[in-house]
Amino acid sequence: MSKEAPAKDQLSIEDARSVLIQPYITEKTFNMIEKENKLIFIVREKSTKQLIREAMSVLYDVEVIDINTARTIRGKKAAVRFRDPNGARDLATTLGLV
């Protein structure tokens, strides 16, 4: 029987930082923060939704409900919706975006 690698259970902080490159802020994304409880991040091209969810948990200690990804000219974007009704606004404030 083979043993499973314990490193798969939790991302390291360095790995989580490499997944989430930076927040993406425009006038449209400000409206998404207020109305839809979503925050947009530019993420690494190879990032999966599960990897993005784990990175959010490790770096910001937040619970994510939904993630939508899209490839754009600026790179891969992830729209992250939070369980807490003020989660996007609170995290945006913590990151100094608002």
CB 64 within 8 A of CB 78: no
The β-bridge partners of 64 are 82
The token pair at 82 is: 């939070």
The order of strands in the sheet holding 38-43 is 20-23, 38-43, 75-82, 64-72
pLDDT of residue 63: 95
Which tokens sit at 25? 């802020």
pLDDT on residue 10: 80
* Confidence (pLDDT) at 5: 41
**Per-residue model confidence (pLDDT) at position 77:** 97
pLDDT score at 74: 85
pLDDT of residue 9: 62
Burial 28-46 (b: 16+ CB within 10 A, else e): ebeebbeeebbbbbebbee
Angle between helices 27-36 and 87-94 (to 10 degrees): 130
Please give the pLDDT value at position 98.
81
- The full set of domains in the chain, from first to last, is 12-94 (3.30.70.330)
Looking at residue 4, its pLDDT comes to 41
State which residues of the chain have pLDDT below 50: 1-7
Report the C-alpha gap between 21 and 10 in whole angstroms: 19
